[in-house]
Amino acid sequence: MSVRRLTHLALVGVLVVILGVAPAVAGPQPIDDGVSKQRQDGGLEKPQDPADALEALDASTADVVSGGASASVVKNIGLAGRGERLLSQATTDVWSHKSIAYLGTFNAPCGTGEGFRTDTGPVDYINDRHAPGVVVFNVHNRNKPQYMGNLPSVLGSRVNDVKVASMNSGDILVHSNEACAGGDGGFEVYDMGDPRNPVHLSSVRVDEANETLRTLFGGVNLGVHNLFLFTQGERDYVAMQTHAWFGSFQIYELTDPTNPQFVSAWGAEFLCEEDYCSDDPYNETDPNVLIDHINGYMFCLLTPCFGSSQNRFLHDVTVNEDGDLAYLSHWDAGLILLDVSDPANPAFVSQALEPSAGDGEVNSHAAWPSEDGTTVVETAEDFDALPELTPLDNWTVGEAPTNTIPAIGVSTSAGDDFEANQTGNTVLIDLVLQHHMLAPLVEVTSGPLAPNTYPATEAAGNQPKLADTGPVEGEAIWIGRACVGDPIENETEFQEGDIAVVRRGLCPFAEKLATAASLGASAVVVSNNVRGVSQWGNVRVWDYSDPANPVLASEFDTVCSKDPTAAECDLRGTYSVHNVIVEKGFATFSWYSNGVIILDVRDPYNPVEVARYNPTGEEFEEQNAGIQDVWGIYKERGRPWLYASDRNGGLYILKPLGGGTGN
């Protein structure tokens, strides 16, 4: 779900024009034509959750629990305690250390800077569990976690990841910073030796490792999405995913946590062997070569990647217990193993690259090795499972002077309904509370499609917005594709103030908007044109008996990740796998709306589900502030406790129970 600031990405396109290189799309840009891919998320930021868009489609299956494909559930997972943070889609990763649990926080609310200090010294907790920053719970009593407060947030930034470990200098906490309102990137370091009295040790702003990208193109103050702490003898380090174009895997030394030092950088661009590739991307100085390499390889414009979210940027990193191997989940570059026994000189070992069988995507999101390194479990995050049911996403009508009416986007299936019933439907378009957020909804109040409701999105651009105009009501008239030169369907039926319904395709959205406005429409509804059903992201289990030649041993899906249309799957749910942790042959996953799942991977060629925590129903949704949506997972090594972070509900402390199949 992954994150680059759009301003940073858009810079590549600007550089193309400045330097006279052939124009190329440089990452996730708003879609302004009728034929671009529905999603251009880039893979490093959590894509917009389909749970929001599908909220109103099928509430009737809210109490259904899906089963694991070919699963033999022989254990159960019980709830020990809760650390409530009831705020929709606002909680990210989780970690625990010495009976203190730490939660990351997402974009809303964005960092306020309250109580934050850049220098070294004690800090006071912010007493508001709904505030940004790092949410801290005392979990000595797992049945009754006690909220301690929030570590202060950086102004304009969010905390995606937080890690804590006993290092040479003490109990050290490091959390990532990513801009959510133009704030700083990088990471913060705290001494948590006394969790009641945290001490801020340092702030680090991360930059491009390549000097030309850093100095000529402004590659400074970059966000960090994920990080990992490790120790080698008397030296401490933090490895991280940065928002750099090149060298997005970076290592800093933390031996003196008040003065972290950059050590090295590495990225999948070192594997590029095409004509446009740099021979030495770390030290490349030719800006034309850099831009060709970024656009051609990292953004997959000259060498195609896999699936819809095509890029080769790093998403996550895990370092083994010995601190000498780093597993880089490099999206469409696959799972890359580096030897970091010399942190100053990371050395390539192998690349595990094979798309999931069900959808042809790679989307290497996170990975965790077994203790001996012979098995590695990788998660593939994929959010393109229900394209026909998902409204237009990340679209714009631009800044045209003809953008004079609201522009609303609906799904392919909604467009099919209106195309089959082209006149006679009165609709109300308004902003309503869906999944605890305001979002557009198209409600048919009378006519053959009544009482259907259709989740919707609103286009970016200079057109009037629903927040300013208020609700729009009128008869919905299907007028076709609405490009210049196309026949206007039902033109004689169209009255001033009607709402034009058009199909995406061929021409820019602004052209469709202008056509509708010329007819006297009060709004335009643009229906998507994508078809087909694919699966959500699943699990790949790798045999690393020969680390230089990993072998894909197996894949694992749940019923709902494999088939989003299965009767037992709640259409509001997100059924992609997310994060993983492995201990003693068992892999534990945060699997969004499939909850927490444990697989027995002692035989990597035959993974078996042995436990699941997946509560549903109205009562659970009320106490969780929404359906189950598990983002993070952590397990205390050698102890039974599991810590799960739900994006809606906060902290869950779980414990696998004994044998049996009871509910």
User: In the chain, what percentage of residues exceed pLDDT 90?
Assistant: 70
Q: Given a cut of 80, is residue 25 above it in pLDDT?
A: no
Residue 437 has a pLDDT of 54
Report d(CA 505, CA 502) in Å as an integer: 9
Q: How far apart are CA 366 and CA 384, in angstroms?
A: 18
* pLDDT for position 533: 66
Please report the pLDDT score of residue 393 as a whole number.
Answer: 76
Higher pLDDT among residues 54 and 67, named by residue: 67
Phi (first) and psi of residue 213, to 5 degrees: -65, -35
What is residue 304's predicted lDDT score, i.e. its pLDDT? Answer: 87
Q: Stretch 347-353: mean pLDDT, rounded?
A: 97
Confidence bin at 360 (pLDDT 50/70/90): confident
- SS3 labels along 270-297: HHCCCCCCCCCCCCCCCHHHHHHHHHHH
- Of residues 635, 636, 618, the one with CA closest to residue 627: 618
| Helix/strand/coil for 568 | coil
Tell me the pLDDT tens digit for each residue of 505-547. 989 999 999 999 999 999 999 999 887 767 899 999 999 999 9
Element (DSSP H or E) covering residue 652: strand 650-659
Domains detected in the chain: 59-386+533-658 (2.130.10.10), 387-527 (no CATH)
| Maximum CA extent, the chain | 81
State mean pLDDT over 115-137.
Answer: 97
Query: What would the pLDDT profile of 66-96 be if each residue is shown by its tens digit?
Result: 333 333 444 589 999 999 999 988 999 999 9
Strand, coil or helix: what is 553? strand
User: What does the pLDDT look like over 442-480, one tens digit per residue?
Assistant: 999 999 999 999 989 999 899 999 989 999 999 999 999
Q: How far apart are CA 50 and CA 92, in angstroms?
A: 17
Give per-residue pLDDT as tens, 286-342: 999 999 999 899 988 888 898 877 899 999 999 999 999 999 999 999 999 999 999
Chain mean position to CA 86: 20
DSSP 561: H
Cα 469 → chain centroid: 32
pLDDT greater than 60 at residue 256: yes
Residue 113 has pLDDT above 80, yes or no: yes
Contacts of 103 (CB under 8 A, 6+ apart): 83, 85, 91, 92, 93, 94, 134, 135, 136, 137, 162, 632, 645, 650, 651
Is there a contact between 363 and 407 (Cβ–Cβ < 8 Å)? no
Phi and psi at residue 593, to the nearest 5°: -80, -5
**pLDDT per residue over 391-433, tens digit each?**
887 788 989 999 999 999 998 999 999 999 999 999 999 988 6
Q: Write out pLDDT tens, residues 587-608.
A: 999 999 999 999 999 999 999 9
Cis upstream peptide for 451 (omega within 30°): yes
Spatial separation of the C-alpha atoms in residues 44 and 3, rounded to whole Å:
4
Please state, in angstroms and rounded to a whole number, the distance separating the CA atoms of residues 551 and 541: 9
